[in-house]
Copies of this chain bind each other. A is one copy, B any other.
Amino acid sequence: MSSSRLLDRLVEALQAMPGIGPVSATRIAYNLLDRRREDALRISDALKEAAEHVALCPDCRNYCDAEGERCSICSDFRRRDSGLLCVVESPMDVESFEQSGAFHGTYFVLHGHLSPIDGVGPEELGLDALGRRLDEGGVREMILALGQSAEGEATAQYLTAMAKRRGIPASGIATGIPMGGDIQSVDGLTLTTSLENRRRIG
């Protein structure tokens, strides 16, 4: 309890951010109120705009700026090899690949992996959209860059079968990803190597 109800509310709200506990939230709130209110308003505006407008790209299900619009990666089709389709579990995985600079194909973002126990099936992962994309005929290879968990493996098997039915070869990035690790925490060089050493699995 501080001397201001609005300040207490801010400290409480900030704790909804991952990794921000009561001490960090208090420090952030006081710091922003003390001569940095322009920054506070800028953060407020950016949060509102993103929460209200960021949608999923109809082509790749990665984040885009507005409902029905394509994302900036799918819009950049002239500099992209649309024959290579890299399937990842989360939008942050795409950012990791983009930062490594090793991949110039296109992506498909699942936003998770198959997990029947949590009610996550093919529909929740947008696999109907992925199926349509494969049916369109331009994809010559599907690269799977999924987490090395049991659910990730099961998802990879499902996707490989989808590709196989359409005669499209599937590969999985292999080298350098530690067992049980996240794609997000791997450095760019390791990601580059794992792309170069991909091996056909379907």
Contacts and interface: CB of A to CB of B under 8 A. Distances in A.
A37 B50 CA distance: 9
Nearest to A60: B3
Contact of A34 (B30, B34, B52, B111): B111
What is the interface residue range for chain A against chain B?
35 or more
A3 B55 CA distance: 11
A19 B21 CA distance: 12
A134 interface: no
A3 B43 contact: no
Given A16-B36, A17-B31, A64-B4, A9 B46 contact: yes
A146 interface: no
A177 to B, nearest CB: 19
Contacts of A171: none
Dominant secondary structure at the A interface = helix
A179 interface: no
A95 B3 CA distance: 8
Nearest to A16: B39
29 contacts: A2-B72, A2-B98, A3-B57, A3-B60, A3-B64, A3-B71, A4-B65, A6-B46, A6-B65, A7-B54, A9-B46, A9-B49, A10-B49, A12-B46, A13-B42, A14-B46, A16-B32, A17-B32, A17-B43, A18-B28, A19-B24, A19-B27, A33-B51, A34-B111, A40-B51, A41-B51, A43-B44, A44-B45, A44-B51
